[in-house]
Amino acid sequence: MAEQQWNAEIYRRDGAFVARLGASLVDLLAVVPDERILDLGCGDGTLTATLRDRGARVLGLDASEAMVAAARGRGLEAVCCPADSMDFDATFDAVFSNAALHWMRDPDAVAARVFQALRPGGRFVAEFGGEGNVASVRGALADAYARRPELGPYPDPWYFPSMTGYRAVLERAGFALHSIERIERPTPLPSGVGDWLRLFADHALRELPVHMAGGIIAEVEEALAPRLRGADGIWTMDYVRLRLVATRPEARS
């Protein structure tokens, strides 16, 4: 499977809705001025900047060098590192993550690293794709690959757990879970499903010949139009999110 790669400029143009939908998660975090926060999977730093503007001392972390460069271009402190190998020891008052954990295929390793990064009493506030997220697109991509057996099976890069499954991940890491909810969030796409695929399914398309990638996109659009494209021509993606608040328990005396 090709590794997902990100173009920060295209993300800013076609993926800006992701940060807009995360605004209420920032409110849920309830930043306390001068506290230290890690923005895990910070992307281009849009929400990292919001956290900073609310008074936090914030560090962005992302596995994409292009995204980290974009975040630094905003004047933010950001580092490039996979979440499952970050190494902080009781450094942060909170870890915040929007629309990133579903790209991380080893959830137990990530949860353990988040737990380690938090100070006792620190909170973990996150939202990411849950069970059923973009099910229509995943199915259509798998079907398009199946019609091209020379490609092998569709290389699905995502981790979309159930509430029960992710609750178990947090408990194994040692977290106290305060809330977790599943949110069905049909999401209008500003530029259609084709541009969504070029941005978020880069892993499945980038290494294919241009004509083949274009054919897959056309087939997916045709398959999904009856379900996801309205009479007004607007595409609406079948997003499902998990939103959670957990804490690292205070150390016992």
pLDDT band at 2 (very low <50, low <70, confident <90, very high): low
What pLDDT, on a 0 to 100 scale, did the predictor assign at position 15? 66
What pLDDT, on a 0 to 100 scale, did the predictor assign at position 230? 93
Edge-first strand order for the sheet with 57-62 is: 77-80, 57-62, 36-40, 92-98, 118-129, 236-247, 176-188
Q: Name residue 67's amino acid.
A: M
Q: How far apart are CA 251 and CA 253, in angstroms?
A: 6
Helix, strand, coil: what percent of the chain each, to 5?
45, 25, 30
Question: Which domains, and CATH codes, for the chain?
Answer: 8-138+158-189+236-247 (3.40.50.150)
- Give residue-wise pLDDT tens across range 79-105: 999 999 999 999 999 999 999 999 999
- The gap from C-alpha 245 to its chain's centroid, in whole angstroms, comes to 16
State the pTM of this model.
Answer: 0.93
